[in-house]
Structures are given as structure tokens and as C-alpha cells.
A and B are shown apart, each in its own frame.
Chain A
Amino acid sequence: MADSLPALDKDGYLLSLGDWSGEVAAILARNEGITLTAQHWEIIELIQAFYKDFELAPANRALVRYIQQTLGGEKGKSIYLMQLFPPNPALIAAKIAGLPRPANCF
């Protein structure tokens, strides 16, 4: 199937958040072996809100804390995010959400 994606950087992140859409997110997710569910969308919206608040794509630690503050401790856990966005939630969620690659994540 010829899914067409907007311009990406060398790591596969969107060059411009303006190119992002729900469909683009679904394709990017599929490329990571992820089928998006409501739980994924909840985190995608939050990581985009983080980026809007701080003009920064979060590292894992910051993402976990931000989710703790907004959704509470059940979801604000590394293990919960790891299940949704393996193997590295900060990197994979940022990619699917159309953000730049977070610094300080390997």
C-alpha cells in the first residue's frame, strides 16, 4: 500500500508539525508496529500540549511527570507508556505526534 508521508528528517521525524494529521500519525505508528487506540491518542494529545507549553519535545522523565500531573499516577508511569510506545516512549510518541526528535534520548 502506497502510504504517502510528508517530508521527514533523517530519523523519521516530521520536518514540520504543520504537516501532521491523524492520518499521518496512523501511518507513522504503523511503521513502528503500533495500532493507535484511544489510550495512544490521549498520550499523543498530551505530548503535543507539552510541546506547546514548553517549546520542547520531552525526555522520558519529563513526559512521565507531565502525565502524572495531568492524568494522574496510574498513567503517569514509565511502564504504562512503555506498553503503548515501545521501546522508548519519548522517542516513539514524539515521532507519531509530529514533534522533533527529543534531545537526550537514546
Chain B
Amino acid sequence: MSRILCVSRHAPYQTSHANDALDAVLAAGAFDQDIGLLLIDEGVWQLVTQQDAPYVGKKDLSKKLCALALYGIENIFVHEPSLQGRLLTRDSLCLDNVQLLTNKETRQLFDQYEQILSF
């Protein structure tokens, strides 16, 4: 079984990248693959609480993120410098089981996985 890291770098609603990344992760989870999700750069906006996407005619991405645990996906990583650069903290996030990573830890993460899916 190959270990896959999904790297999600885009904000939720303007493009479909964030949603596509999440669909890929859920699919991998449904088929029992060992997949991790890394949210970095604009991708960290996906985790903000109190999103109300119907205002722009979309489904709430943060609700879908909450389903990850039920798909057996426990390795959710957040690049901490990306949070800090946007004045976000752990308390601003809709998931509490995420692991915050420094630059060094993020570099190590890339080396721990055999495959990367870039979004």
C-alpha cells in the first residue's frame, strides 16, 4: 500500500482545486489507502470556522472536511507559518485534530510519503 500525501494550497471557493483535493482524499479513504492531507498557503483558509458558502452558491467545504475522520483519515497537517501569516490560530480552525507543522517538519513530511498529489 503506498502512502500518499495530498498537498492542498488553494482557498475554498473561487476555483475547484480545494474541493478536488478533498474529493481525492475522501476517495483514497473510502478505499482504505494511507493518505495524509497537508493544508498550506491559501489552503489554510479552508479550515476557517463559520463559513457560509451558500452565500456564493456553493456547498460548505468545512463541512466536508469534518467528514474526514469518518473516512478514516487522521493525518491532517497544517503549515503553521501559513496560519501565522494570515493571523490565524488553532482556535480559528474548524477541526481540532490537526497537526501544526513548522517549515522543518513540513520538509520532513514530504520525505515520509511515497506519492504526492498536488492541488
Please tell me if A10 contacts chain B, counting CB pairs below 8 Å: no
Q: Give bound CA distance, A60 to B59, whole Å.
A: 22
- Which chain A residue has the least Cβ–Cβ distance from B29? A61
Please tell me if A104 contacts chain B, counting CB pairs below 8 Å: yes
Contact B63 A53, beta carbon cutoff 8 Å: yes
Q: Contacts A53-B63, A58-B67 known; list 8 others, CB within 8 Å.
A: A54-B67, A56-B26, A61-B72, A62-B67, A65-B70, A103-B27, A104-B26, A105-B30
Contact B32 A54, beta carbon cutoff 8 Å: no
Q: How many residues of A contact B (CB 8 A)?
A: 14
Q: Which residues of B are interface residues toward A (Cβ below 8 A)?
A: 23, 26-27, 29-32, 59-60, 63-64, 66-67, 69-72
Contact B67 A61, beta carbon cutoff 8 Å: no
Write the nearest CB–CB distance from A48 to chain B, whole angstroms: 15
Contact B67 A104, beta carbon cutoff 8 Å: no
Write the nearest CB–CB distance from A70 to chain B, whole angstroms: 11
Identify the interface centre among B32, B60, B67: most chain A CB within 10 Å of its CB. B67
Q: Which residues of A are interface residues toward B (Cβ below 8 A)?
A: 53-56, 58-62, 65-66, 103-105
Contact B70 A55, beta carbon cutoff 8 Å: no
Contact B64 A56, beta carbon cutoff 8 Å: yes
Q: Give bound CA distance, A8 to B27, whole Å.
A: 25
Write the nearest CB–CB distance from B68 to chain A, whole angstroms: 9
Residues of B within 8 A of A54 (CB): 63-64, 66-67, 70
Q: Give bound CA distance, A55 to B27, whole Å.
A: 15
Residues of A within 8 A of B71 (CB): 59, 61-62
Contact A104 B64, beta carbon cutoff 8 Å: no
Residues of A within 8 A of B66 (CB): 53-54
23 A-B contacts (beta carbon < 8 Å): A53-B63, A53-B67, A54-B63, A54-B64, A54-B67, A54-B70, A55-B63, A55-B64, A56-B64, A58-B70, A59-B29, A59-B30, A61-B30, A61-B32, A61-B72, A62-B29, A62-B30, A62-B67, A65-B69, A65-B72, A66-B70, A104-B30, A105-B30
